[in-house]
Amino acid sequence: MDELQPPPRQAQDGEEELLFFWALGDLHYYNNVLWQVEHTPRMLQMFSDLRRLWAQEGAPAFCVSPGDLVELADPENYQLVRQQLSLNLGPVPFYPGLGNHELFASSQESEAELLEDFTIFWEKPPRYYWTQGEVLCVMLDVVGYGAPVLTRESLAFLETALAKHPRHVALLFAHCPLYGSVLDRDPARDLDYDSLEPFFYLENSQEVRALLARHPNVCLYFSGHTHSGWQAPNLVMTEELGGHPLTHVNLSSPWYTGKHHGIEWLDGGKACRYRPDDPDAITSLEVRVFRQRVRLRLRDHRARNWLTEWNVPVK
């Protein structure tokens, strides 16, 4: 596994900073001209603002995105996302995750073949971990859509990684949220996909929670998948498991948010229009891990300002 050991940094109040990174929600790169008319400017706004911030404050240790990096798992889309991330992130390392869209392709490939495609392209398996100083990061592979799960093999992998690094602060990344975390902004209008809706939460959430309750060093569970608006209830939510806190963090997509938004195809796919959310923010998340807390700051790259901030406990 990757071993990176940066020197510790100090927060303004004297706290020791263990890790600084950036988390991106579902990106959905797609090598389609009509799609790119709407998609490309949004990605450029995000990355230009990130580069400006990093020039002022210093670059993060890495960027991470837990799945749906492509709209379809076709070679041209993988090539496009790699080209764009390389261009926009430069030397900042990138850690990709497996989403449901990495398991959809134009060709009739099996799930096993699509998992192999992911591994070949990213030169990483669908589940892996890395350490950054005193922080353990675990990327998990949700499969089985439309009843998504972490398989027995994935749970065994997670348990082994956590047992091997009991003194590390542990951060988990998986495409699907756990049941009962991120919610709909307006259930009466069915505004958002959420973690109470089948397909949008892990079917074995109870089993996952039972595993995490046995490991007090696990403090954050990052997910995407729902494209929730940034004002969604429980976008960041802390619960007690086994006597220690676990915070769920759902990453809004900079592509679009809300159930009834994004691209609408017209005229049999010959035209499309983009339906923006309200508010239409282009967001990503700054994450700074300290010994006793994690600071999360949500950035709107369209307005170039901070939308909100959370401070959540480590343990």
Structure confidence by residue, pLDDT tens digits, 18-56: 999 999 999 999 999 999 999 999 999 999 999 999 999
pLDDT at 144: 96
> Strands 128-132 and 3-4: what pairing?
parallel
User: Quick one: pLDDT band at residue 8, thresholds 50, 70, 90?
Assistant: very low
Mean pLDDT of 309-313: 98
Residue 4 clears pLDDT 60, i.e. is over it: no
User: Using CA atoms, how far apart are residues 164 and 197, in angstroms rounded to an integer?
Assistant: 34
Domains recognised in the chain with CATH numbers: 15-313 (3.60.21.10)
* Cβ–Cβ under 8 Å, residues 194 and 184: yes
pLDDT in tens, 75-132: 999 999 999 999 999 999 999 999 999 999 999 899 999 999 999 999 999 999 999 9
Identify the pLDDT of residue 15: 85
Helices (H) and strands (E) in the chain, counts: 5, 16
Residue 5 in this model has a pLDDT that exceeds 50: no
Are the C-beta atoms of residues 100 and 226 closer than 8 Å to each other?
no
The tokens of 98 are what? Answer: 């497996």
- Which residue stretches of the chain are H helix? 33-57, 75-89, 111-122, 152-164, 205-213
So what's the pLDDT on residue 178?
98
Q: How far apart are CA 136 and CA 128, in angstroms?
A: 11
The model's pTM is: 0.95
pLDDT of 78 reads 98
pLDDT of residue 208: 98
pLDDT value of residue 11: 55
Does residue 13 carry a pLDDT above 90? no
What are 135-160's pLDDT values in tens digits? Answer: 999 999 999 999 999 999 999 999 99
Are 22 and 66 in contact, with CB atoms under 8 Å apart? Answer: no
- Is 81 in contact with 69 (CB distance < 8 Å)? yes
Stretch 188-206: mean pLDDT, rounded? 97
Q: How far apart are CA 177 and CA 227, in angstroms?
A: 11
| Averaged pLDDT of the chain | 95
* Residues whose CB is less than 8 angstroms from the CB of residue 158 and which lie 6 or more positions away in sequence, other chains included: 138, 140, 150, 172, 211
CA distance 306 to 298: 6
